[in-house]
Structure 1
Amino acid sequence: MESGHHADQWLELDQLYRRPAALRPFAAELATKVSAHRIDCVCGPLTGGAFLAQVIAADLGVEFAFAERIVTDRAGLFPVDYRIAPALREGIRGKRVAIVDDAISAGSAVRATLADVESCGAMPVALGALIIVGARGREFAASKSIPLESLVELPLAIWTAAECPMCAGGAPLTSP
């Protein structure tokens, strides 16, 4: 996983965006949920979160922003950052922002996007996802006292590499 965690399953989320018309009702449902938090802007991490954020922002008639993925030289968990695109940074200052992603599992993209939204002087007031996978997303939202809206929640077992039972059992690493 992007966070550096290992998991017992993988969702191929890019497939969600192949047929935008099929995705639209789900985006509209999530838009209704995040709109309850009186938002001025919807922000999502590239790629899937940004695609979803743009649809939701258009549905709600609010501003849109996106965060670009930045690879760092940090080792361990959460080695990736996300930064609001330079041309959009000043525009979100003082805004009430919903941060959305297609799915939240360990939450690395949402964590980093939220941190950068705050560094721009904006106020994250809601998190949203089509799918919450596992408990870590809810735990993160609760730790920040930010509501987390979603359409569905799925179980997921995730571990650090040192805790991974599949690695301990000698199972080969596979990528999606």
Structure 2
Amino acid sequence: MENRIVELLKESDALLTGHFLLSSGKHSDKYVQCAKLLQYPEKAEEVCQVLKEKLKDEKIDIVVGPAMGGIIIAYELGRALGVPAIFTERENNEMTLRRGFEIKEGQNVLVVEDVVTTGKSSLETIKVIEDYGGKVVGIASLVDRTGGKDIGTKLFSAVALEINTYDKENCPLCEKNIELVKPGSRKKF
């Protein structure tokens, strides 16, 4: 099934190859732009069916996606699971629930992301959920880029991708003078 997910990423031009500046400041030879896949509802639905199957033994009352990347996939997975889907967002640089969203004490909550690399946004969302008294089931993601690192909770992903990352000072792509691009902006550096 992972091969099918990679195929869907490639079909939608969501799996990019080149020289990319990541938000961490590191460089990479590949980048996953899940929004490119998620613009196709039928492909989003197919990926969420894979996640739904992986989550079949979990009790989930509500899904929460961190804005921006988690919103669409949370909605689609919520639909597949038949549960509400809400999102967290930053306000004054702090992850929070707004827009009248709430998590009830004791609810089983699944955090939903497009890509998990370090888990930073997901972990901030987990704190919000726990502050409301919710019980975190785990994190579901379209793509797992953690490289097998423990992020402190269960991770359910449609596909795990091994993608090379480099410090700027030791980047073989820089040494080859391959153009550096910040994903999403098409801006060259």
TM-score interval, smaller chain: 0.7 to 0.9
CA distance in 2, matches of 1:71, 1:161: 30
Paired residues of 2:109 and 2:137 also in contact (CA < 8 A): yes
Is 2:36 the counterpart of 1:15? yes
Displacement of 1:3 in angstroms is 4.4
C-alpha distance after superposition, 1:74-100 (max 9, x if no partner): xxxxxxx432225113x3432111111
Bigger share in helix: 1
Q: Secondary structure at the match of 2:51?
A: helix
Paired residues of 1:41 and 1:92 also in contact (CA < 8 A): no
1:70-89 to structure 2, matched below 5 A, reads: 70=91, 72=93, 81-89=94-102
Which position in structure 1 is the counterpart of 2:58? 37
Distance 1:93 1:5, change over 3 A: farther
Which position in structure 1 is the counterpart of 2:9? none
Which position in structure 2 is the counterpart of 1:132? 144
Distance 1:140 1:88, change over 3 A: farther
Paired residues of 1:39 and 1:98 also in contact (CA < 8 A): yes
Paired residues of 2:44 and 2:76 also in contact (CA < 8 A): no
Is 2:112 the counterpart of 1:100? yes
Q: Secondary structure at the match of 1:53?
A: helix
Which position in structure 2 is the counterpart of 1:151? 158
CA distance in 2, matches of 1:107, 1:7: 18
Query: Whose Rg is larger?
Result: 2
Figure out how many residues of one structure are paired with residues of the other and give that number. 161
Q: Secondary structure at the match of 1:83?
A: strand
Give the structure-2-normalised TM-score.
Answer: 0.71
Which position in structure 2 is the counterpart of 1:115? 127
Q: Could you tell me the percent identity over the aligned residues? A: 24
Paired residues of 1:134 and 1:157 also in contact (CA < 8 A): no
CA distance in 1, matches of 2:59, 2:110: 9
Give the structure-1-normalised TM-score.
Answer: 0.75
Please tell me the residue identity of whatever aligns with 1:148. Answer: L
Please tell me the residue identity of whatever aligns with 1:154. Answer: L
Structure 1: any 5+ residue segments left out of the alignment?
73-80
Displacement of 1:20 in angstroms is 0.7
Structure 2: any 5+ residue segments left out of the alignment?
1-21, 184-189
- Superposition RMSD in Å: 2.7
Please tell me the residue identity of whatever aligns with 2:141. Answer: A
C-alpha distance after superposition, 1:25-75 (max 9, x if no partner): 111121222242211111111223121111111222222221114563xxx
